[in-house]
Amino acid sequence: MEVAIAFVLTVVVASFVAWPLLAAPESSDQPGVAPQPAEQSRWDQQKREAYAAIKEAEFDHQMGKLSDADFATLQRKYREQALAAIAAIEGEQASSRSGAAGRKPSRIAYCPNCGRPAPPRANFCPGCGTGLKVLLKDAVA
């Protein structure tokens, strides 16, 4: 009798633990939210990966694993990738809003330093305080 109860209890606990692994994944994290287009999510992923690489390089530089020259090279490379992704995201948003596919965006929608969304008329990032007008001039040049 005790063996049967122990066996049933073990099966119940094992099925409870394994249920998240065996259940079908949901299509979206939030119910009622439409999934993003593939192109949009690709640019968002590139932006997030570039930010993560920049933060990793900063950490390695602070720990003494990267020299100043290597850090500058990595930071420039990943910053260019992030800016390219941000420009593509803004270009897609501007073309979807106005219908003009060849029109370039006039404002930065995301801070290339920390990745937070920038309000439409902001001169500085609300997250890190980076000047957005200066970054826009640097990105265009």
pLDDT confidence bin for 38, thresholds 50/70/90: low
Q: What SS3 class is residue 49?
A: helix
pLDDT of residue 99: 56
Query: pTM, whole model, 2 decimals?
Result: 0.44
Other Cβ atoms closer than 10 A to 68:
8
Q: Mean pLDDT for the chain?
A: 78
Mean pLDDT of 49-77: 93
Confidence of residue 53 (pLDDT cuts 50, 70, 90): very high
**Average pLDDT for residues 64-93, to the nearest whole number?**
89
Find out whether 105 and 91 touch, Cβ atoms under 8 Å.
yes
DSSP string for residues in 92-118: HHHHHHH--TTPPPSS-SB-TTT-PBP
Give the pLDDT of residue 26: 62
Map residue 79 onto helix, strand or coil. helix
- Considering only residues 4 and 19, tell me which one the structure prediction assigns the higher pLDDT: 4
Asked if the model's pLDDT at residue 116 lies above 50, the reply is yes
